[in-house]
């Protein structure tokens, strides 16, 4: 009997940006589904419950930990969207060449960070957070 694994796993493959973007795509999707849904339900419940409940929600959302969660959700959205566009292009059959795949993997990950920074710089400048 062979002592090697029956199917490839992470310890066999050489790590690269294409693997990282795939894992981050899953993480960001799960983050939006779990954390984003919880924040959305809390926000909608606060809206429906009146001014006191909404003030409580706003106080938490405006605190340092609330802003960290909102920045994380913003990153998750932009990262998931940009890697989704990358996967859409791959589904057309383009971008499988090693250098092209590596380049667009880095661009996908970087664009999530850059777009998040742009949005939050706008929020900070406009709202003065």
- State the number of CA atoms in the 13 A half-sphere of 6 facing the CB: 1
9 a known binding residue?
Answer: no
Alpha-carbon distances of 66 from 7, 57, 61, 71, 80, rounded to whole Å: 42, 9, 4, 9, 21
The residues, any chain, with a CB within 8 Å of residue 106's CB and separated by 6 or more, are: 17
Residue 71 contacts residue 31 (beta carbons within 8 Å) = no
Radius of gyration (C-alpha) of the chain in whole angstroms: 19
Q: What is the DSSP letter of 109?
A: H
Residues annotated in a binding site for heme: 80
Residues annotated in a binding site: 80
């Amino acid at each position: 009997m062979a002592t090697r694994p029956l199917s490839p796993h992470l310890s066999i493959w050489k790590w690269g940006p294409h693997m990282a973007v795939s894992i981050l795509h899953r993480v960001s999707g799960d983050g939006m589904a779990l954390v984003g849904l919880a924040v959305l339900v809390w926000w909608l419940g606060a809206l429906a419950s009146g001014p006191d409940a909404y003030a409580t929600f706003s106080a938490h959302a405006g605190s340092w930990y609330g802003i960290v969660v909102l920045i994380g959700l913003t990153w998750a959205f932009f990262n998931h969207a940009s890697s989704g566009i990358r996967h859409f292009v791959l589904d057309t059959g383009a971008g499988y060449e090693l250098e092209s795949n590596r380049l667009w993997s880095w661009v996908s990950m970087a664009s999530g960070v850059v777009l998040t920074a742009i949005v939050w710089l706008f929020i900070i400048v406009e709202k003065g957070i």
